[in-house]
Amino acid sequence: MVTQALSQLTASASWRDPVIIVGANPVGLITALGLAYYHIPCIVIEEGQGTSQESNQLALLDQYTLDILGTWGGAALAQQIVAQGVVPAGEQVLYRKGQLYRAPLTTYEAGERYPRLVNMHQSLLEQLLLQRLQTARTCLVVWQHQLTGVMPDHEGVNITLMTARGQKFLRAPYLFMTNMPPTPAHSAAGLAGAAYTHDQRFLSLDVLTAPGDAPERWFWFNAPFNSGRIAQLHPLPDDMARIIYQLAPTDDLAQICQPDALQHRLTALLGDRPFEVVALSTHGYRYGVMPRFKQGRLLFLGNAAHSLSMFGTSEVNGGAQDAWNLVWKLAHVRAGLALETLLDTYHEERHAAATSSQQRASEIIGYLSPAPGMATWRRNTSLKLSQPFKFLRDSIQVGDKTDMSAYPTSPLLSEDHRLYLGGRFMKQSAEQSSNLKRFRAGPVVGIPAPALSLPDADTGAPVALLERCAEGFVALCFTNDVEMAFAVLQHVPMQVSGVPVSFLIITPSTPELPASDGISIVLDSERKAASIYNAGPRSLYLVRPDRIIAARRFDSDFNDIPALLRHAVGEDDVDSQTRIARPAVSAG
């Protein structure tokens, strides 16, 4: 009765490996890491000679990306990244000539394995990812291979490469593009005319300097040494700091980069602290979202699909979420467990998420560079008031908040129709009505499921509710009747055509039944899980391999799990009542 894990699935008879990834940048390497995790053969194509030893890109890795890397690359990889990066422990916000406030930062959230933020150069991240991929038998990275031609058809993609030994031709079922346009893949997809907009200029300096007591990041508004614009400092490994100056449109770059001018700027910012400039670069704020993330056999991830790069930071976080969304779907399609149309939902979900991120990025830029008049007055007033009123500090927009995935309008989701019918068409007791109202306000479909550990009912060992998500869907079954749930769940795998799924029966009291393969029983005696999920006496949450809530039911006997699973992989057989339009929600 046990289903295979996603990583154990083999390709269907009609599938032809390998998948081709263009770009040995962080997003391309993370995508390859995900494919390797599921034992899907892939080739990474890169026209350079190797990972760059120097890069003007800064990787600010958020907790969500570290969790993805820890899943696909193993905890050792994520811990290595944390150890070789820098975790900012404090923050200073300054305005004009004075400090508004200085405060410690929460580095680790309660119950989380990885810190909230890690800073490092993109080149170091690439090297760590490549080292991990070199141990994967199903992934090959080839250098000095330039993509020169792409010809997709209904069954695959023909790829032309230029190498040191001449032309080479490959064929793949799908081509994953991670390089910024224009590329032959963008041209083949009809996206040759699409481009990203540049409207802000920044000067970045990597400075070797003695660190303070703890690594801090600085945000300096209306800095007197920077024409009234913003300056930033981000701590980096090896006693380095990245200092970023926002430039005015009229600034003469050649004059600004003169040694005396740089010395003046840095002394004004760092004071008496000794420093040495080891790298200098300039860059613009790129922003834009491609109209299509998938065109037939061509799929676009990271900078190939969207660019919201502020302050010289890379798009690794958004690109990692692209890969997180796409790879589990490809694993199902490759094994013949889902139609190829499942991959179309990659565009639907990630395009909407990127568009939302672009809107938030535009708001941040508007805050950093407000229009003259009322907008500037409002921004400056909020900065000044943040000194005496701590609660206003969260309103200061500095562009570093984790942007979690959320797909409220995805066609793969199934919300509980009872949440919107209310009591108009059914009789409910006051207690039932109160429980339903509370459940409505709980975690909704389309957002990441809350993480939590509970003790195993048999051994007492902690069981992470989302630990097994990467290996397939996970059904969280809240119930007092363990025997009923066990009897139903034993038959589910036979009804879902091999779609990988496991079950967690969450109960407040110790059951008499032992667990079995694919079904775990965990104790929620203090009702922590029931409280976090606002669960009723018989509630169900179905969580996808990317830890997004695919479906929920307030009152379920768990016989609806097969239909919900089929719907979550693109087979539309859920009763039409379950797909009543929902109000838009956010991850917040």
Each residue of 155-174: pLDDT tens digit?
999 999 999 899 999 999 99
Instruction: Specify the higher pLDDT residue, 2 or 104.
Output: 104
Domain contains 226:
no
CA 483 – CA 520 distance, rounded (Å): 13
Examine the domain organization and report whether 183 and 37 are in the same domain. yes
Q: Which of 89-93, 99-103, 204-208, 467-471 has the lowest mean pLDDT?
A: 99-103
Residue 443, phi then psi, degrees to nearest 5: -55, 130
Domain contains 241:
no
Percent of the chain with pLDDT over 90: 47
Say if residue 546's pLDDT is above 60. Answer: yes
CA 550 – CA 565 distance, rounded (Å): 8
**Residue 90: band (very low, low, confident or very high) from pLDDT cuts 50, 70, 90:** confident
**Residue 139: band (very low, low, confident or very high) from pLDDT cuts 50, 70, 90:** very high
Q: What is the DSSP string of 264-329?
A: HHHHHHHTT--EEEEEEEEEEEEEEE-S-SEETTEEE-GGGTEEEE-TTB-SHHHHHHHHHHHHHH
Examine the domain organization and report whether 324 and 462 are in the same domain. no
Q: Would you tell me how many other CB atoms lie within 10 Å of the CB of residue 229?
A: 18
Residues in the chain: 588
CA 315 – CA 358 distance, rounded (Å): 12
Examine the domain organization and report whether 351 and 431 are in the same domain. no
Q: Structural domain of residue 534, as residue ranges?
A: 418-579
Say if residue 422's pLDDT is above 70. Answer: no
Q: What is the predicted pLDDT for the residue at 585?
A: 36
Residue 275, phi then psi, degrees to nearest 5: -155, 160
Helix (H) or strand (E) holding 155: none
pTM: 0.91
Q: What is the predicted pLDDT for the residue at 577?
A: 37
Examine the domain organization and report whether 438 and 355 are in the same domain. no
Q: What is the predicted pLDDT for the residue at 426?
A: 56
The domain boundary residue, chosen from 308, 334, 369: 369
Domain contains 529:
yes
Examine the domain organization and report whether 435 and 298 are in the same domain. no
Mean pLDDT to the nearest integer, 316-345? 95
Examine the domain organization and report whether 488 and 362 are in the same domain. no
Q: Would you tell me how many other CB atoms lie within 10 Å of the CB of residue 94?
A: 19
Examine the domain organization and report whether 298 and 187 are in the same domain. yes
CATH code at position 551: 3.40.30.10
The domain boundary residue, chosen from 338, 369, 400: 369
Examine the domain organization and report whether 364 and 422 are in the same domain. no
Examine the domain organization and report whether 452 and 315 are in the same domain. no
CA 286 – CA 308 distance, rounded (Å): 6
Examine the domain organization and report whether 438 and 353 are in the same domain. no
Examine the domain organization and report whether 78 and 143 are in the same domain. yes
The domain boundary residue, chosen from 305, 337, 369: 369
**DSSP secondary-structure letter at 160?**
E
Mean pLDDT to the nearest integer, 480-505? 89
Domain contains 81:
yes
Say if residue 517's pLDDT is above 80. Answer: no
Q: What is the predicted pLDDT for the residue at 95?
A: 82
Examine the domain organization and report whether 451 and 575 are in the same domain. yes
CA 577 – CA 588 distance, rounded (Å): 27
Q: What is the predicted pLDDT for the residue at 398?
A: 61
Domain contains 52:
yes
Q: What is the predicted pLDDT for the residue at 197?
A: 66
CA 298 – CA 22 distance, rounded (Å): 11
Domain contains 362:
yes
Domain count, the chain: 2
Domain contains 243:
no
Domain contains 263:
no
CA 63 – CA 65 distance, rounded (Å): 5
CATH code at position 127: 3.50.50.60
